[in-house]
Amino acid sequence: MENQSALCRYSVIREKNPREIVLLRGKGCAWRRCRFCDYHLDADTDEQANFVLNRQVLDKVTGEYGRLEVINSGSFVDLDDGTMTRIRDVCRERKIRELHFECHWMHRRQIPPLRESFAREGVRVVIKIGVETFDGLFRESVLDKGIDETAPARIAQGFDECCLLQGLPGQTVQSMTEDIETGLKHFSRVCVNIMQPCGAPVKPDPVVIELFVRGVYPHYRDNQRVDILLENTGFGVGGAANA
C-alpha cells in the first residue's frame, strides 16, 4: 500500500451516482484477517492525529452533489468520535443529504443507531458491505472474510450496497457474472473491485482478469447500478497525492 501520509484522500466522482468521496483514517479494521487485503495498514492508534488528518480532508468537501461517501480502512465504527462529529457538522454546513459508509458484517448491529442519528438531521445513511463473492465456501475458506451467513438475502438485510472482488484464481466468466447478478438482485448498487497486487497472500490472476475485461466488463460498463474499479484508485482516492 502507498505511504499513508502521502495518499490522496479527497476526490469527486462525476459519472455513475455522482458524489464526493473522502478516504479517512481510523484505528484500523477490527477483523484484519482477510487474506486479500492490506488496506488495514492505513491506520493509526493515535485518535488525535487521526482527527487532525480527517478534519483537513473533510474541509475539502463542498456539497456539490449533496452526497458524500466516507471510506476508511475498516468500518465507520473505527473512526474516532471527533471525526464522526466533524462528519455531522460537514453534512449540516455543506447540505449533504446522502451519506455513504462502509461496514464489516461483524458490526452490522451498530448500523440502525447510526441511521437513526443521522436521520434526525435529515441525512440518509447508505451502508456498503464487502461481500467479495456470494460463494460462501470460497469466501470463507480462501478469502477469510468473516461472514458467517451464506444466504444473500440475509446478508443484505441492514445493508444497501455491496462490494465484490473479481480477478481471483478459480473465478470464471460465469461465476463473476452470477456474483454481479446476485448483488443486483439483493442490493441497490454493486461495486466490482478487480484484485490488485499487494502484500496479502491471495494474488490476482491475470488470466481471470482478462476474462473479466473481455467477458464481463462490456455487459456492466454502462449499468448505472454497477461501479467497476479496474484499479483500486478508480474513485480517485488511495493513490499518491501528487501523482
Residue type, 228: I
Summarize the confidence of residues 59-86 as an average pLDDT: 97
Summarize the confidence of residues 205-226 as an average pLDDT: 98
How much is the pLDDT for 4?
Answer: 54
How much is the pLDDT for 189?
Answer: 98
Contact 131, 147 (CB under 8 A): yes
d(CA 136, CA 241): 37
CATH 3.90.1150.10 fits 4-229, yes or no: no
Output the average pLDDT for the chain: 95
How much is the pLDDT for 234?
Answer: 85
For residue 196, give the 3-state DSSP assignment: coil
User: Chain centroid to CA 64: how far?
Assistant: 21
How much is the pLDDT for 242?
Answer: 57
Provide, for the chain, the percentages of residues in helix, strand and coil under a 3-state DSSP scheme, each rounded to the nearest 5: 35, 20, 45
Q: Cβ contacts of residue 108 below 8 Å, gap of 6+?
A: 129, 158, 159
pLDDT digits (tens, 9 = 90+) for 16-60: 999 999 999 999 999 999 999 987 789 999 999 999 999 999 999
Say whether pLDDT at 1 is over 60.
no
* Domain map (residue ranges) of the chain: 4-229
How much is the pLDDT for 243?
Answer: 46
Grid-cell match 449540516, residue found: 92
Summarize the confidence of residues 187-200 as an average pLDDT: 96
Summarize the confidence of residues 199-218 as an average pLDDT: 97
d(CA 156, CA 149): 10
Summarize the confidence of residues 143-164 as an average pLDDT: 98
d(CA 197, CA 235): 18
